[in-house]
Structure 1
Amino acid sequence: MADIDAAHPAARARGRSAGRAPHKGQQTKAAIIDAALGLASHVGLEGLSIGAIAELMGMSKSGVFAHFGSREELQIAVVREYHARFERDVFHPALAAPRGLPRLRALFDHWMRQTSLEIDSGCIYISGAVEFDDRPGPVRDALVDTVNTWQSAVRRAIRIAIDEGHLRADADPAQIAFEIHGLILALHYEARFLRSPAGLHHARTGFDNILARYQP
Structure 2
Amino acid sequence: MTNEERLDGRRMRGQRTREAVLDAAVALASVHGLHGLSFGLLAEHLGTSKSGLFAHWKDKEQLQLDTIDRAREQWTREVMAPASHAPAGVRRVFALHEARLRFYADGVLPGGCFFLAAQTEFDDRPGPVRTKTAESLEVWLRFIRSLIAEAISLGELADQVGAGQLAYEIDALGESAVIHSRLSDRETAFTYARHAVLDRLRARATDPTLLPEA
TM class, shorter-length: 0.7 to 0.9
Partner in structure 1 of residue 86 of structure 2: 97
Aligned mates of 2:102, 2:64 — CA distance in 1: 25
Match of 1:46, SS state, is coil
The correspondence for 1:86, drawn from 72, 75, 96, is 75
1:162 aligns with 2:152: yes
Partner in structure 2 of residue 147 of structure 1: 137
TM-score, with length taken from structure 2? 0.85
1:134 aligns with 2:138: no
Q: 1:76 to 1:195 in 2, by over 3 A?
A: farther
Compute the displacement of 1:62 (Å): 2.2
Show structure 1 runs of 4+ deviating over 3 A.
none
Partner in structure 1 of residue 179 of structure 2: 189
2:187 maps to a residue whose letter is P
Match of 1:165, SS state, is coil
Aligned mates of 2:45, 2:77 — CA distance in 1: 26
Match of 2:88, SS state, is coil
1:129 maps to a residue whose letter is Q
2:191 maps to a residue whose letter is H
Contact 1:115 1:184 in 2 (8 A): no
Partner in structure 1 of residue 212 of structure 2: none
Aligned mates of 2:198, 2:95 — CA distance in 1: 13
Aligned mates of 1:201, 1:115 — CA distance in 2: 12
Contact 2:27 2:110 in 1 (8 A): no
**Offset from partner CA, 1:73-115 (integer Å, 9 cap, x none):** 1111111111111110111111111110111111111011112
2:85 maps to a residue whose letter is A
Contact 1:44 1:127 in 2 (8 A): yes
Equivalent positions of 1:1-216 (< 5 A) are: 23-118=12-107, 120-216=110-206
Percent of pairs with identical residues? 35
TM-score, with length taken from structure 1? 0.85
**Structure ID, larger Rg:** 2
Match of 1:130, SS state, is helix
Aligned mates of 1:66, 1:211 — CA distance in 2: 49
